[in-house]
Amino acid sequence: MAEFVRIHEVGPRDGLQNEKGVISVARKVALIDLLSQSGLRDIEVGSFVSPKWVPQMADTDQVLAQLHPEPDVRYAVLVPNMRGWEGFLQARRADILTEIAVFIAASEGFSQSNLNCSIAESVARLRPVVAAAQENGVVVRGYVSCVTDCPFDGAVAPQQVADTVAMLREVAPMQVSLGDTIGKGTPERVGAMLEAVLGAAPATDLAGHFHDTGGQALANIETSLDLGLRAFDSAVGGLGGCPYAPGAPGNVATEAVLALLDRLGYETGIDRDVIAQAAEMARAMR
């Protein structure tokens, strides 16, 4: 029996957040609803962040209100602080299985630029958010950015990433998505990073989040599979990047990841024809 790999679709949030043109709530909902019919079990649909800094996500509450949820799909939103948590609570629907994501960086330069604080301070800020989620029975997922390279500090040492993951999981034993934020990772360096991180968390609690800026995303996924990871983030149509990481366009495309996993003999439970339709819809939003 083929091994199962779980895909976390991040296009509607991490993909669309970087688009400059106005994308209506109706178009976002149509994309998410189509993705919900593909067999995906995890779809990131928005974020409760300051609309001043990420205006494309200002309507996440409306997106949640208008979704037509599938019962087996978990819909995730990014929640960086308690203000975001309050926004999430107000928008939360009883009929939707939801998850929140929190994020930190593995480099001090990116943490200071993106969060205006040190790594340690960013972890401390997340504690009340995670505690509130646990009290309300909401699943929490963590993101760690810049796991191989930082646009400000350069190469990031593998042990620094492992230490950062350990700090985050000390708050709660959450799954951690490891982000190659500017797409400079190579299989050799990703492998070294993962070997260090596996000392802080088991492979079953890790996910890979690779940008394809350098054309290495699929090779990095193969390396991650070899080291036991069975969860990956991807964006339909290859949308997005990080608005705070210069030169980081392009999450790895969901359709490309599915093709790779199919070729390698893994099972995902996802209909590639539906994903192809969603990719066409997503690319039209650019």
> Do 107 and 146 meet the contact criterion of CB atoms below 8 Å apart?
yes
CB atoms within 10 A of CB 95: 7
Tokens of 13: 């949030």
Catalytic residue among 117, 146, 150, 242: 242
Look at residue 41 and give its three-state secondary structure: coil
Per-residue pLDDT at 1: 75
Q: How many residues does the chain have?
A: 286
Give percent above pLDDT 90 in the chain.
87
> Do 120 and 159 meet the contact criterion of CB atoms below 8 Å apart?
no
Nearest to 61 by CA among 34, 29, 38, 27: 29
- Quote the CA–CA distance of 20 and 174 in Å, as a whole number: 32
What mean pLDDT comes out for the span 199-204?
98
Look at residue 4 and give its three-state secondary structure: strand
Identify the CATH number of the domain defined by range 6-283.
Answer: 3.20.20.70
Q: Is 242 in the active site?
A: yes
What mean pLDDT comes out for the span 229-240?
93
Chain centroid offset of residue 20 CA: 20
Per-residue pLDDT at 185: 96
**What residues form DSSP beta bridges with 251?**
211
Residue found under tokens 């990131």 = 44
Helices 217-226/187-197 angle, 10° precision: 40
pLDDT at position 248 over 60? no
Q: How does DSSP classify residue 10?
A: -
Note the pLDDT tens digit of each residue in 152-168. Answer: 999 999 999 999 999 99
pLDDT at position 246 over 70? no
The ranges assigned to domains in the chain are 6-283
Name 95's Cβ contacts closer than 8 Å, sequence gap at least 6.
Answer: 69
> Do 256 and 218 meet the contact criterion of CB atoms below 8 Å apart?
yes
Q: pTM for the complete prediction?
A: 0.95
Note the pLDDT tens digit of each residue in 258-274. Answer: 999 999 999 999 999 99
- Quote the CA–CA distance of 28 and 38 in Å, as a whole number: 16
